[in-house]
């Protein structure tokens, strides 16, 4: 396969074309053995990944770190809990300039939207966006798509429902956009107050992507191949009662999906949207999905760090 992925930064899934996504999926598959330590690699030996996690993260941060180390590289940086003492009131621009001097690529998570883009404009090393507020989280999208591809061996023509908080849940915006490139049937299942924002709908409409919107899970449950469930957070609702009502209406449990031919995904952590009685069933893909973060991020790291040499 010829090398076509030529992004220097990974900021938004909008920077990707379908062929770029396919390229990363392919590369990730080749790296699974290294990710599981069944094969050895030192391709990034001597390289340092700068990790600037202004907001706490477990899965994303650990999978970047694991991926970097499995490829022979190492990491420096901080995460949410110590972020404030690291920066001591220093502005982002200055902190990033320091990190640029210490590392070969930067991974950034921040609670403000547009931070990774801003930093990528002011530093010369490659920048990866690991989540900017309610904005983009492109590597999550790539691993989500990778999970689907690994299970069905295709993406085209699948029936995929995104469920839950589609307004604030940052993973679903990029995911909807990316799935739009693959000729899938998409539905957005959300309570009225947490519907997909107009930005995302605008992008899909512009590209003539068809989607179906409903607030009722029952409308789609019989036809879907993939239920992509997201966290519904309490603070989005005016009162406890409203929250419990919504939460109940979108709960995925074994009873609901039993006998159906589908998989359940979730970017994790969950806060009760998927009942634990799904965990030990064939429907559960969310733990595997979390593992796939490693090979997918390795594919990204390998490419953007190598590109700079």
Partner 1 sequence: MKVEAIKNGTVIDHITSNKSLHVLKILGLPNEDTNVTIAMNVFSDEVGRKDIVKIENRELDSSELDQIALLAPEATINIIRDYEVIAKDKVRFTNELKSIINCTNPNCITNADEPIESRFHLLKTSPILLRCHYCERLIDVEEIDNQFY
Q: Are 4 and 33 in contact (CB under 8 A)?
A: no
Residue 288 within binding range of partner 1, rule CB under 8 A:
no
Q: Pattern of binders to partner 1 over 131-170, x per CB under 8 A?
A: -xxxxx----------------------------------
Footprint on residues 12-31 left by partner 1 (CB under 8 A): 12, 14
- DSSP helix/strand/coil, 309: coil
CA 303 from centroid of its chain's CA atoms:
18
Using the contact rule CB under 8 A, the part of the chain among 51-59, 111-119, 248-256, 273-281 near partner 1 is: 111-119
Tell which one of 4, 76, 82, 93 touches partner 1 (CB under 8 A). 93
Tell which one of 154, 202, 218, 234 touches partner 1 (CB under 8 A). 202
Residue 104: which of 155, 145, 47, 61 has the closest Cα? 47
Q: Of 11 and 142, which has the nearer Cβ to partner 1?
A: 11
Applying CB under 8 A, what is the total number of residues that bind partner 1? 21
Residue 98 within binding range of partner 1, rule CB under 8 A:
no
Q: Of 39 and 111, which has the nearer Cβ to partner 1?
A: 111
Which residues pair with residue 274 across a beta bridge?
252
| Alpha-carbon distances of 303 from 28, 214, 298, 300, rounded to whole Å | 11, 39, 8, 5
Using the contact rule CB under 8 A, the part of the chain among 59-67, 68-76, 197-205, 285-293 near partner 1 is: 197-205
Residue 128 within binding range of partner 1, rule CB under 8 A:
no
Residue 305: which of 52, 106, 61, 12 has the closest Cα? 106
| Alpha-carbon distances of 220 from 7, 53, 109, 301, rounded to whole Å | 36, 37, 34, 37
Residue 146: which of 6, 305, 301, 285 has the closest Cα? 285
Residue 171 within binding range of partner 1, rule CB under 8 A:
no
Using the contact rule CB under 8 A, the part of the chain among 86-94, 238-246, 257-265, 277-285 near partner 1 is: 86-94
**The token pair that represents 253 in the structure block:** 């449990």
For the annotated binding site for carbamoyl phosphate, the residues are 59-60, 109, 137, 140, 268-269
């Amino acid at each position: 396969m010829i090398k076509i992925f030529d992004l220097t930064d990974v900021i938004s899934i909008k920077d990707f074309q379908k062929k770029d996504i396919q390229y990363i999926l392919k590369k990730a598959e080749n790296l699974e053995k290294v990710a599981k330590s069944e094969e050895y690699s030192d391709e990034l030996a001597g390289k340092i990944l700068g990790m600037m996690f202004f907001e706490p993260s477990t899965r994303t941060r650990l999978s970047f770190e694991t991926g970097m180390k499995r490829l022979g590289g190492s990491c420096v940086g901080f995460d949410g809990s110590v972020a404030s003492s690291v920066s001591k009131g220093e502005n982002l621009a200055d902190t990033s300039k320091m990190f640029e001097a210490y590392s070969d690529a930067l991974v950034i998570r921040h609670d403000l939207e547009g931070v990774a883009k801003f930093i990528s404009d002011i530093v010369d090393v490659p920048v990866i966006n690991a989540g900017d507020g309610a904005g983009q989280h492109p590597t999550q999208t790539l691993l989500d798509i990778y999970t689907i591809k690994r299970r069905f061996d295709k993406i085209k023509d699948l029936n995929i429902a995104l469920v839950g908080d589609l307004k604030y849940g940052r993973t679903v915006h990029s995911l909807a956009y990316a799935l739009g490139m693959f000729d899938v049937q998409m539905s957005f299942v959300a309570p009225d107050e947490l519907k997909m924002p107009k930005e995302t709908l605008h992008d899909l409409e512009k590209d003539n992507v068809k989607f179906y919107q409903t607030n009722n899970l029952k409308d789609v449950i019989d036809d879907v191949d993939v239920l992509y469930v997201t966290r519904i957070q309490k603070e989005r609702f005016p009162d406890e009662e409203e929250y419990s009502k919504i939460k109940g209406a979108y709960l995925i449990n074994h009873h609901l999906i039993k006998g159906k031919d589908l998989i359940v995904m979730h970017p994790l952590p969950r806060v009760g949207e998927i009942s634990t009685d799904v965990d030990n069933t064939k429907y559960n893909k969310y733990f595997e999905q979390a593992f796939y973060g490693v090979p997918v991020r390795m594919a990204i790291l390998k490419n953007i760090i190598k590109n700079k040499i």
